[in-house]
Amino acid sequence: MKRWLRRLRAPRAPDAAATDEAQLASLQRQLDLAQALEQERRRIYDDLHDDIGGRLLTLLHRVQDPEQRQLVREVLQDLRAILARERGVEGSLLEVLAQLREEAEQRLQTRGTGLEWQQDANLPDPPLDPAQAMHLFRIGREAMTNALRHAAPSRLRVVVAAVGRDLVFEVTDDGLFDPARIGSGRGTRSMQSRAGELHGDIVWQAGTLGGTKVRLRFPLPAPDPASTGWPPPASGPSMSP
């Protein structure tokens, strides 16, 4: 027994110390690589903003046709929004929804498209990790982009509510519903992939406004133990088909 205790108290063997140093060196190399990749990503974003953004701005001043000017203006706005959001969408659920609503209001205003945002006042506000925040934001953004691009709507309705421990996020337009188009584009495939990353599902169906309804549902993270009102009451914005 005494010999066993002496072994535990003895200094670590040189081989063990060398192994620890090798592991630390490996972790440091991984950290250095991640930092280098992040710096390169930010450089690419800056180049896109300065180069592509500058060219679009020049084109905006040269184009005379009002419809073409509007198209260039929307592309420029989309580029700026994407670059800004890709730098980091983070925060709690309500903070991410607020960011999405703010951008939606700005985008739709340039097109003269109305926005009806119905959000349950009793929504919980759990923290989202960066990946969850980005997936939710990009799904919402892509749903609105597709509606503007393909349905020619005069207004969009966004409904956000909690159903049990899930979040339900809907975007409905009053434009055209074309079931043959659903799932055939890169945008919708990306939305399906992001919904899967959220451990949820997403469906497209005919909407109550006459156009298309996009419905995302996924489980929310566990709330902060100090928060109250979870799960939310059954009453809230209508989630009818």
Closest CA relative to residue 106, chosen from 130, 85, 129, 127: 85
For residues 171 and 156, the answer to whether their CB atoms sit within 8 Å is yes
pLDDT tens figures, 99-147: 899 889 988 887 889 999 999 999 999 999 888 998 999 899 999 988 8
- Check whether domain 92-241 has CATH 3.30.565.10, yes or no: yes
Q: What is the pLDDT of residue 132?
A: 92
Backbone angles phi, psi at 176, to 5 degrees: -110, 145
pLDDT tens figures, 9-46: 555 556 767 777 888 888 888 887 777 766 666 666 56
Q: What is the pLDDT of residue 112?
A: 87
Residue 48 has pLDDT above 80, yes or no: no
pLDDT tens figures, 82-92: 665 555 566 89
Residue 193 has pLDDT above 60, yes or no: yes
Domain boundaries, the chain: 16-87, 92-241
| pTM of the full structure | 0.64
Residue 202 has pLDDT above 90, yes or no: yes
Residue 158 has pLDDT above 80, yes or no: yes
Question: Which comes out higher in pLDDT, residue 179 or 224?
Answer: 179
Residue 154 has pLDDT above 90, yes or no: yes
C-alpha distances (whole Å) from 133 to each of 78, 90, 140, 169 are 19, 6, 11, 13
